Chains A and B, each alone.
Chain A
Amino acid sequence: MSVAPVRLGWWLSSEEHDPRDLVRHARDAEVAGFETAMISDHLRPWVPSQANAAHVWTVLGAIAGATDAMEVGTGVTAMVHRSSPIAIAHAAATAAVMFEGRFFLGVGTGERLNEQAFGRRWPRAGERRERLAEGVGLIRQLCAGENVNHRGRHWAVEDLRLATLPATPPRIFVAAGGKRSAALAGEIGDGMIGVAPDGRLVDVFRSVSPRADAPVVGQLHVSIAADLDAARDDAWRWWPNGVVPPNLLGELARPEEFEAVAEAIGPAGIDKAVLCTTDAAPVIAAIDRFVGAGFDTVYLHQIGPDQARLTAMAADELFAHYASGP
Chain B
Amino acid sequence: MYDLVGGRAAWTVLGLPTEGSVGDRRRISQFVVQPGIVPIEATIADIVADGAQPEWPVAVLGDGRVLLGALQSTARRLPSQTPVQRAMQPAPATIRPDVRIERVIEQLTNDDLDHVFVTTASGKLVGLAVRELLHV
Closest-by-CB residue of A relative to B82 is A288
Closest-by-CB residue of B relative to A325 is B79
- Smallest distance from the beta carbon of A86 to chain B beta carbons, Å? 31
A residues within 8 A CB of B87? 288-289, 291-292
A324 proximal to B (CB < 8 A) = yes
Q: A326 to B74, Cβ gap below 8 A?
A: no
A191 proximal to B (CB < 8 A) = no
B18 proximal to A (CB < 8 A) = no
Inter-chain contact total with CB atoms closer than 8 Å: 84
The residue from A1, A182, A207, A325 contacting B78, defined by CB atoms under 8 A apart? A325
A residues within 8 A CB of B13? none
Q: A292 to B79, Cβ gap below 8 A?
A: no
Q: B72 to A288, Cβ gap below 8 A?
A: no
Q: Name B residues whose Cβ lies closer than 8 Å to a Cβ of A.
A: 44, 54-55, 57, 70-82, 86-89, 92-93, 111-115, 131
Q: A325 to B72, Cβ gap below 8 A?
A: no
22 pairs, CB–CB < 8 Å, chain A vs chain B: A183-B112, A186-B112, A199-B70, A200-B93, A203-B115, A206-B55, A207-B112, A288-B86, A288-B87, A291-B78, A292-B87, A292-B89, A293-B74, A296-B74, A322-B78, A322-B79, A325-B78, A325-B79, A325-B81, A326-B76, A326-B77, A326-B78
A321 proximal to B (CB < 8 A) = yes
Q: Name A residues whose Cβ lies closer than 8 Å to a Cβ of B.
A: 1, 3-6, 179, 182-183, 186, 197, 199-200, 202-204, 206-208, 212, 216, 285, 288-289, 291-296, 321-322, 324-326
The residue from A5, A197, A206, A285 contacting B77, defined by CB atoms under 8 A apart? A5
Q: B79 to A291, Cβ gap below 8 A?
A: no
- Smallest distance from the beta carbon of A29 to chain B beta carbons, Å? 21
Q: A203 to B80, Cβ gap below 8 A?
A: no
State A322–B80 Cα separation when bound (angstroms): 10
State A183–B112 Cα separation when bound (angstroms): 7
Closest-by-CB residue of B relative to A206 is B114
A residues within 8 A CB of B86? 285, 288-289, 292
Q: A325 to B112, Cβ gap below 8 A?
A: no
Q: A295 to B79, Cβ gap below 8 A?
A: no
B residues within 8 A CB of A203? 113-115
Closest-by-CB residue of A relative to B89 is A199
State A3–B45 Cα separation when bound (angstroms): 13
